[in-house]
A and B are shown apart, each in its own frame.
Chain A
Amino acid sequence: MAEALVEEDEVKVLLIEDDEVSAEMYRSRLAADGYTVVVAPDGQAGLDMALAEQPDLIYLDLRLPKKDGFAVLEQLRADARTAGIPAVILSNFGEPELRARGLELGALEFLVKADTTPAGLVASTQRLRGSATKRSAGG
């Protein structure tokens, strides 16, 4: 299925994650299913890469150097060039108030890393691909 997806159109995922080990684990698993993955190691780099790379989907950690995940999300939504890119929070904080704040700021979903295996992230990406594809089709 993943190969068919790549043949049809490339899906680019931006992973904003400062933990190198987590980033590499998720990157390699998504890449194994044919996704193109770019990684930003801090919040500011994440914003810059979102603009430059125009990914189809963003996974965003909350505790990040330079700019935390909520500030990144706010800026992504405030900028017309990135406002339409679906973003999912992927964090090890899972408190209800953080979840609520993330969703209120426009995150599509809120995933807890410890409960999200790399295969789970691939499944989530496939599920959310609809949002990404619609966005691509819409321009």
Chain B
Amino acid sequence: MRRDGGGSEKKLEELKGEFLNLAAHELRSPLGIVRGYVSMLREGLVPPDQMRRVLTLLASKTDEMAALIDEMLEAARTESAGIEYAMTRLNLVDVVDDALTAMEPLLNGPHRLVEQGPRAAIPVRGDRRRLTMVLTNLIDNAVKYSPQGGDIEVGWSVEGRHAVVRVRDEGLGVDEADLGMLFTRFGRIVTPENSHVRGTGLGLYLARDITTRHGGDITVESQEGRGSTFTVSLPLAAGGNGTS
């Protein structure tokens, strides 16, 4: 028993060490771009016709760093008991819009965004910033794990007494045996096909943690090589229409 306990602790320490290295790497990537282009701007080596592109890039890279820091702080907070959510009555469609707006730069590549859902209000109670983080993490995950492109479908609906958002991709998918690891704290699943994909492995862990703190759940269906569908389900707020 004791030996097993020690082994688990050691394993956790190893995972934390790996996580710190990954986190440093993830921060260094946008930092290197910002430093690099700032130095080129100071050298006067960015042509006027490239200025707008470079400034947009710098803004997006600083946003990326800010989002990563938020994610890491959020993960640290999940361990403390005093975590406070700013719960208000929300329209889930607004949260979806927030997430899609935030992820717009990422969806300009080889992917085609397919949005499916009613524009009528879907009332839920929640922390808007954190629920947006759940969806941006799922969309980010869908983009990262479908490097060849394809459709990314974001659909929302009311199913029974729940507000539901589905994020579907046509990417690498996950082996059934690995599905249980997906939402664990440092549970990034590395395979030869995805080892170059960026990420700390925190995104899905946070997505599930935040969703369950809202009284909801996230499930995943996936087939290796054929893509994944993540389903977020949240209780409808009182006054929801409760239809499907």
List, in ascending order, chain B residues with CB within 8 A of A94's CB: 24, 28
Is B29 an interface position by the 8 A CB rule?
yes
Complex contacts, A32 vs chain B, CB 8 Å: 45
A64 to B31, CA, bound (A): 19
**Contacting pair B29 A19 (CB below 8 A):** yes
Q: Are B28 and A92 in contact (CB under 8 A)?
A: yes
Residue in A closest to B29 when the chains form the complex, CB atoms: A92
Instruction: Name B36's contact: one of A18, A92, A93, A117 (CB within 8 Å).
Output: A117
Q: Does B8 contact A (CB under 8 A)?
A: no
Report if A109 contacts B (CB, 8 A): no
Query: B16-50 vs A: 1/0 string, CB under 8 Å?
Result: 00000100110011011101110110010100000
User: Does A7 count as interface, using CB distance less than 8 angstroms?
Assistant: no
Partner of A113, one of B21, B29, B57, B196: B29
Q: What's the Cα separation between A21 and B28 when bound, in Å?
A: 14
Against A, the Cβ 8 Å flags (1 = close, 0 = not) of B147-165 are 1000000000000000000
Residues of A within 8 A of B31 (CB): 114
- Cβ of B195 < 8 Å from any Cβ of A? yes
Instruction: Evaluate whether A22 and B195 lie within 8 angstroms (CB atoms) in the complex, with A93-B21, A119-B39 already known.
Output: no
Q: B33 near A68 (CB under 8 angstroms)?
A: no
A10-41 residues with Cβ-Cβ distance < 8 A to B are 18-19, 21-22, 25-26, 28-29, 32
Q: Flag if A25 contacts B40 (CB, 8 Å).
A: yes
Compute how far the CA of A95 lies from the CA of B21 in the bound complex, rounded to whole angstroms: 8
Look across to chain B and name the residue whose beta carbon is closest to the beta carbon of A32: B45
Residues of A within 8 A of B196 (CB): 18, 42, 63-65, 68
Distance of A19 Cα from B30 Cα, bound (Å): 11
Q: How far is the CA of A26 from the CA of B25 in the complex (A)?
A: 18
| Alpha-carbon separation in the docked complex, A128 to B82 (Å) | 55
- Shortest Cβ gap from A86 to chain B (Å): 22
B32 partner, pick from A65, A92, A119, beta carbons under 8 A? A92
A97: min CB distance to chain B, Å = 10
List chain B positions with a Cβ less than 8 A from chain A: 21, 24-25, 28-29, 31-33, 35-37, 39-40, 43, 45, 57, 147, 195-196
The 9 nearest A-B residue pairs measured at CB: A114-B28, A92-B28, A114-B32, A117-B39, A113-B32, A65-B196, A114-B31, A92-B25, A25-B36
* A-B contact list, 8 entries, CB within 8 Å: A21-B33, A22-B32, A29-B36, A63-B196, A92-B32, A112-B28, A116-B32, A117-B36
